[in-house]
Amino acid sequence: MSTVNQRISEIGVVPVIKLSNPERDAAPLAKALCAGDVAVAEVTFRAAGADTAIRLMKEACPDMLVGAGTVLTTEQIDRAIAAGAEFIVTPGLDPELVVYAQKKNIPIYPGCTTPTDYHTAYKLGLEVLKFFPAEQSGGLSKIKAMSAPFPMFKVMPTGGISLKNLKEYLSAPVICACGGSYMVTADLIEGGKWDEITDLCKKSREIVKEARNG
């Protein structure tokens, strides 16, 4: 695994973040995540100012691993890299974006849920795939089934992941890490509930350790 892939795998959970007010929330959110031992974040381009949020989070916590999510264009990849992003996540598999990211030497995790997606990803030389939306696309049972013909991939499921099913997912060797927004919901962020976010991160990390060591 690459260094970024390894770091994500070691943490085990990736908060998927949408920030409507990055100037106010990015720095305290980064500190709350790191205080909970989750020093990684996927900041989605679903909200304006995602690149600002990435930059501010990196400034607040320089050792944190911050990436860009819901990336749809090469222009967004450029903006993410300029802001300090260290990985790219796309909702689907767009070979053009994968090749562009590879030329820019930044890891990219495209959303893949079908054998065709996996086969294309194999030809593109990828090693970690996002599986999105996870629960709605068949969940862990489908991920396990897909790993039979494609054992070379580690998978990062996102969509429908919570504290309730996190251990089940992480107990499967095919899972690299789980993405989720349950610890960074709009309600928690808008309310400035940083201690609650830290607590959810700590609970998530406890589950990661239980799953990996059990």
CB 51 within 8 A of CB 83: yes
| 1, pLDDT greater than 90 | no
pTM tops 0.75: yes
* Range 112-145 burial, b when 16+ CB lie within 10 A, else e: bbeeebbebbeeeebebbbbbbbbebebbebbee
Average pLDDT, the chain: 97
42 is annotated as an active-site residue: yes
**Which residue out of 18, 42, 58, 135 is catalytically annotated?**
42
127 is annotated as an active-site residue: no
Nearest to 74 by CA among 43, 47, 103: 103
| 214, pLDDT greater than 90 | no
**Which residue out of 18, 58, 86, 130 is catalytically annotated?**
130
For residue 37, the model assigns a pLDDT of 98
Four-residue CA torsion sign, 44, 204, 33, 11: negative
Could you report the per-residue pLDDT of 5-37, keeping only the tens digit for each? 999 999 999 999 999 999 999 999 999 999 999
Nearest to 34 by CA among 177, 181, 170, 183: 183
Q: What domains lie within the chain, and their CATH numbers?
A: 3-208 (3.20.20.70)
Could you report the per-residue pLDDT of 76-130, keeping only the tens digit for each? 999 999 999 999 999 999 999 999 999 999 999 999 999 999 999 999 999 999 9
